[in-house]
Copies of this chain bind each other. A is one copy, B any other.
């Protein structure tokens, strides 16, 4: 049995029971709350260290009651990689990347959807549905397949092709929609009474946050329970940033953090879709829908986030910022950083690097501070982006003098 006590409305604090399926309350998300005193008594750092290197090693801080219902593909304990070359390019001496591209399905979406599908499975759901404009559809399809649930995925017609095909390859019923992700969300909502789906849209059920929370738990363990100074995180729906901030609070509550320091959380967007950074710059707690959203970073193309206030609260409590990066810069940074470090940076992560460059120039970050960027997906899944520059064909025979002159 888990240590969950109840669910709590993020907008008005109402308590709701966790033993049944829940979605939004008053149109806003729910927090999962635990008996942290009991968790602190049951869980030790030493016991966690001996467990398998997956996100499930933090089981006392996770909401699943019955292990046999877990949908797992071995996700978690992604590497935290020191990046000296990229750091030098940015004027930073202690830069790290947590590389979420090495998760199942090649993106960080696996964490949230492993948890959401596990809990849905545990609560008797037979069929799950999701709107997606990027990596979430494939992740949901994979975990649904893993435990034998039916899966339905709805995507805008301009969703990256790898995301389109992977969902169907994992056996989901996958469809294109003439419209935006919001139109796909409306289809899921409309179809639910007809089809008996459970809707696992971002933050519409309470458990994707708990999956994403494990990014913060892992980062803390990998940092010997002493958190970095700054975290940069690309923000679409914002579940990861919200989840990490919750993780740090829970770790503090159970007494596991080595010191009082909390990272400044920096929410990063593209100037092609910047609702959160726009709201933050105006000092507002709720974001206006961003008009004509357009960015090659498909995961950032979320014009309206139901958890906007949860993101902005976390950013502000942490002393952080919500910023956006010019679209051209984010693409250039993702490519340049991949060549500097050998990490397959997704375009979304390019936004973090672009924002980081701005913050260093503004002296909002000190060169010796420990800075962690989350690489949320594998560049290989963005064929449209990485294929922007086609390769040339070698002449036959090769003129090696000319070849040498052209490449070195």
Contact = CB atoms under 8 A, between A and B. Distances in A.
Contact of A194 (B80, B146, B173, B400): B400
Contact of A165 (B99, B103, B155, B386): B386
A176 B393 contact: yes
Interface in A350-408: 378-381, 383, 386-387, 389, 391-394, 396, 398, 400-401, 403-404, 407-408
Nearest to A195: B404
Given A85-B148, A191-B398, A141 B342 contact: yes
B175 A391 contact: yes
Interface stretch (A71-79, A258-266, A286-294, A302-310): A71-79
A383 B152 contact: no
A54 interface: yes
Contact of A403 (B74, B155, B191): B191
Contacts of A38: none
Contact of A102 (B102, B176, B379, B381): B102
Interface in A136-170: 138, 141-146, 148, 150, 152, 154-155, 157, 161-162, 164-166, 168-170
Contact of A71 (B174, B339, B342): B342
Contact of A339 (B79, B145, B342): B145
Given A106-B378, A383-B383, A171 B53 contact: no
A394 B187 contact: yes
Contacts of A78: 74
A166 B339 CA distance: 10
A81 interface: yes
Copies of this chain, tallied across the complex: 2
Contacts of A252: none
Contact of A340 (B171, B378, B400): B171
Nearest to A343: B73
Interface string A78-117: 1111000100000000000001011111100000000000
23 contacts: A53-B53, A74-B81, A99-B104, A106-B106, A106-B344, A106-B378, A146-B342, A157-B393, A162-B383, A162-B386, A164-B387, A169-B386, A170-B339, A171-B338, A171-B339, A175-B392, A176-B391, A177-B393, A177-B396, A178-B393, A179-B396, A195-B400, A195-B408
Given A105-B380, A175-B391, A187-B394, 10 more contacts: A73-B343, A105-B344, A142-B342, A145-B340, A146-B342, A165-B387, A168-B389, A175-B394, A177-B394, A195-B400
